């Protein structure tokens, strides 16, 4: 199954994508994670991307299109993919259509996770990360020991772009540049809205119901 997981910053894309990819045995492709790994490793791409990410801006389309073109053709995507955080602009969606047409892996469904802005701000400001990739929320999903990762014992930190001033900019950029993709995918009848306001488990079940009925 080939899926795009869509939604504003903090909607729960990463949280759901990790579990869904395991459940359906498909590859999870998070452009945010790919960019952050490059920032961490100090690559040329990471140095360039950091400038945009820390301001809450989108990294230029041509950079992301190149990343996706390579990644979607990797062997682990042969059973399907779950795109998390891509596409984010109309040019990215157009480029994706072109790439997927060439490799014969069209999108089956775009899941649009809907959460009101007020809740998004609470989720992002309370999120804490570990360098091993685990993500927590101080209130909704706290670690067993404050500030320490349950999985690896690492020290938790706040993402630079989860600071208050950057969060509001990310939400503005989402409304201006990314939200128009809802109409883009509705118009071709592959968009399904998901109520993202319940618990992590209830949102997961809702998505599974949609995907299972799609597979029949």
Which residues of the chain form contacts with ligand AP5 (CB under 6 A)?
Answer: 7, 9-15, 31-32, 35, 52-53, 56-59, 64, 85-86, 88, 92, 123-124, 127, 135, 137, 140-141, 161, 170, 199-200, 203
d(CA 153, CA 130): 9
Per the document, the length of the chain is: 216
* 69 belongs to the catalytic site: no
Instruction: State the catalytic residue, choosing from 36, 50, 127, 128.
Output: 127
CB of residue 212 vs ligand AP5: minimum separation in angstroms? 20
Q: What gap in Å lies between CA 70 and CA 193, rounded to an integer?
A: 29
- Residues 13, 50, 123, 128: which is the catalytic one? 13
Other CB atoms within a 10 A radius of the CB of residue 66 amount to: 12
Question: 127 by DSSP, 3-state: which?
Answer: strand
Q: For ligand AP5, which is the closer residue by CB, 1 or 63?
A: 63
| Dist CA 105 CA 168 (whole Å) | 35
- For residue 13, indicate whether it is catalytic: yes
- Which CB atom, from 134 or from 216, has the smaller least distance to ligand AP5? 134
**159 tagged catalytic:** yes
Q: Are 174 and 56 in contact (CB under 8 A)?
A: no
Least CB distance from residue 216 to ligand AP5, whole Å? 26
Q: Residue 88 catalytic?
A: yes
Catalytic residue among 50, 123, 128, 170: 170
Shortest Å distance, C-beta 158 to ligand AP5: 10
User: Would you put residue 112 in left (φ > 0), alpha (ψ -120 to 50) or beta?
Assistant: beta
CB of 187 to ligand AP5, least distance (A): 20
Q: Which of 48, 69, 105, 159 is catalytic?
A: 159
Give the separation between CA 10 and CA 19, rounded to whole angstroms.
Answer: 16
Does the annotation mark 170 as catalytic?
yes
- Looking at the Cβ atoms of 203 and 211, the one nearer to ligand AP5 is 203
Contacts of 30 (CB under 8 A, 6+ apart): 13, 14, 17, 84, 85
Q: Which of residues 27 and 135 has its CB atom nearest to ligand AP5 in the complex? A: 135
């Amino acid at each position: 199954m080939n899926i795009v997981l869509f939604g504003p910053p903090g909607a729960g894309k990463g949280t759901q994508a990790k579990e869904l990819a395991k459940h359906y045995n498909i590859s999870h492709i998070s452009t945010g994670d790919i960019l952050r790994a490059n920032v961490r490793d100090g690559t040329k791409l990471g140095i360039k991307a950091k400038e945009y990410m820390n301001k809450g801006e989108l990294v230029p389309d041509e950079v992301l299109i190149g990343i996706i073109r390579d990644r979607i053709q990797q062997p682990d995507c042969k059973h399907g993919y779950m795109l998390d955080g891509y596409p984010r602009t109309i040019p990215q969606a157009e480029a994706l259509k072109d790439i997927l047409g060439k490799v014969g892996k069209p999108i089956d469904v775009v899941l649009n996770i809907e959460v009101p802005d007020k809740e998004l701000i609470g989720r992002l400001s309370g999120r804490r990360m570990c360098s091993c990739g685990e993500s927590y929320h101080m209130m909704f999903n706290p670690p067993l020991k404050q500030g320490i990762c349950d999985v690896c014992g690492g020290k938790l930190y706040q993402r630079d772009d989860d600071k208050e001033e950057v969060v509001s900019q990310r939400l503005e950029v989402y409304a201006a540049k990314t939200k128009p993709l809802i109409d883009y995918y509705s118009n071709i009848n592959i968009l399904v809205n998901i109520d993202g306001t319940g618990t992590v488990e209830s949102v997961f079940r809702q998505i599974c119901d949609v995907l299972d009925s799609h597979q029949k």
